[in-house]
Amino acid sequence: MHLDEEQIQRVLHAELPQAAGEPVRSHLTECAACRSRVDEAQREEDRIFGLLRELDHPLPRIDDEASPVRSWRRAPWGRLAAAILVGILAAGAAYAASGAPLPKMLQRLIGWAVQAPTRKQSIAPPASNAPGRGIAVNAGDRLLIVFSTPTKDGLAIVSLTDDSDVEVRTLRGQASFTSDLHRLQIDNRTDSTRFQIRIPRGAAWIEIQVGGRRAFLMESGRVVTRAHPDPRGDYLLPLNGMPPIPP
Amino acid sequence: MSQSRRLAGSIPVETPFHDSVVALFEANFPRLFRYLDRLSGEPELAADLAQEAFVKLYGRGSLPDQPEAWLVTVALNLFRNVKSTRARRHRLLTLARAESVLSDPPPPPGQSAEVKELRGRVRNAIVQLSERDRRLLLLRAEGYSYRDIATALDLNEASVGTLLARAKRAFSDVYQGESDAP
């Protein structure tokens, strides 16, 4: 009676139970055919696992020397920050107590988290005057579009559409987009970047901020902005830090 | 040495638990990250999920019976949540609107076309496996025990070896098909 597939794999992975595995080990010492099957299974596994390693990316950097608390106070965190905060609170008072050190592991996580790259998509400038590249996000129940810094000659043309997605394209210049569930951040890399933003009329709540100030708000079909619509009904939103609309 | 600190107005902080979590982190973060990276093809997402699983473990305040399996289960649940919220998945707009956003990153400069092609074939083979085979194979590739695999994937531990052999066979068949394709 030869070894079955389960037993072959368990031999391979040293997963044979101590007592129940004895007959299997004993059989292997006597059966060249089964030893050959184990060897073949080992070769096949080495080949497959070697292929899987081709998919690997470098481990994220975890910096022992990070200064977590200082970074924590100034870093925009989002969901991860909340999770870590919950973790800290639930774990007890190690953080809250004066002078008590943050657990080393959390220090590392925090230190790493504030330095980890966010998912950022770099958008190459369009090769011609054709409409450029951009990003589309589902409007969801709430979406904040953030232009991180005002730019002197930048302009966003905001149109209302009957689509379900918010679309942002570069018409001119260069930008990168960083997206989250309720937030789309746009980093314009050139002073005169021009964007086209298409907003679904049916969206519940969409706000556009420029340099930390609210420049456009559409809430349940009602638009509030200081920008003036052009004859086609598009809103021309300067990205030079125009006066904010009231909250 | 067993030691606990009780801070004024707080719950006690058991040092052994903290040390255990740190030891688990040291031993398991890399393989949990690699597992999730291979599973998702998104290293940044994998890093997010792996660290969030550890934060949840720390927040739990005590170690579960099988911490390694617990971490995998939590990370997989988080991954499932991410996938479901991708109903509102972001997509890049191109002129043709055809570029994929969430595939493997472009190869670094200097990486040969052969390596890129090999990665693509492996990735295609992985995604063509059933979800159970994919998770099983990737967990074992990271050295998780049969007991942890059975717990994390809700399998009968007595049949993990058989299922693993089938998963490897399925991978080889699909990968061979990928390699033979023109």
Indicate yes or no: CB of B95 within 8 angstroms of CB of A130.
Answer: yes
What tens digit of pLDDT does each residue of A68-93 get? 322 333 333 344 444 444 444 434 33
- CA B126 – CA B111 distance, rounded (Å): 21
According to DSSP, the β-strands at B13-14 and B4-5 are antiparallel
Radius of gyration of chain B (CA): 20
Candidate from A49, A100, A118 with C-beta closest to B7: A100
**Contact (CB, 8 A) for A207 and A178:** no
Q: Write the DSSP string, B73-98.
A: HHHHHHHHHHHHHGGG--EEE-SSS-
Compare all CA atoms of chain A with the CA of B59 and give the residue at the minimum distance. A87
Mutation target to probe the B interface, by most B beta carbons within 10 A, among A46, A49, A53, A55 is A55
> How big is the A-B interface in CB pairs under 8 Å?
175
Q: What pLDDT sits at residue B13? A: 47
Please report residues of B whose CB lies closer than 8 A to that of A80: 48, 51-52
Mutation target to probe the B interface, by most B beta carbons within 10 A, among A57, A121, A182 is A57
Residue A32 DSSP one-character state: H
Q: A138: distance to nearest CA of chain B, Å? A: 5
Indicate yes or no: CB of A60 within 8 angstroms of CB of B37.
Answer: no
Please report residues of A whose CB lies closer than 8 A to that of B40: none
What tens digit of pLDDT does each residue of B103-154 get? 345 555 556 778 888 888 999 899 999 999 999 999 999 999 999 999 999 9
Q: B74: distance to nearest CA of chain A, Å? A: 13
B159 three-class SS: helix
Q: What pLDDT sits at residue B107? A: 55
Chain A, 96 to 125: residues with Cβ < 8 Å from chain B are 96-97, 100, 103-106, 108-109, 112-113, 116-119, 121, 123
The least confident of A21-25, A106-110, B8-12 is B8-12
Please report residues of B whose CB lies closer than 8 A to that of A6: 158-159, 161-162, 165
H or E element in which residue A168 lies: strand A165-172
- Closest of A147, A174, A169, A168 to residue A241, by C-alpha: A147
What tens digit of pLDDT does each residue of B38-85 get? 999 888 889 889 989 998 998 888 999 999 999 999 999 999 888 776
pLDDT above 50 for A122: no
Residue A229 DSSP one-character state: B
Mutation target to probe the B interface, by most B beta carbons within 10 A, among A3, A4, A6 is A6
- Percent of chain A surpassing pLDDT 70: 68
Compare all CA atoms of chain B with the CA of A4 and give the residue at the minimum distance. B162
The least confident of A75-79, A238-242, B25-29 is A75-79
- CA B173 – CA B10 distance, rounded (Å): 57
Question: Is 0.80 surpassed by the pTM of this model?
Answer: no
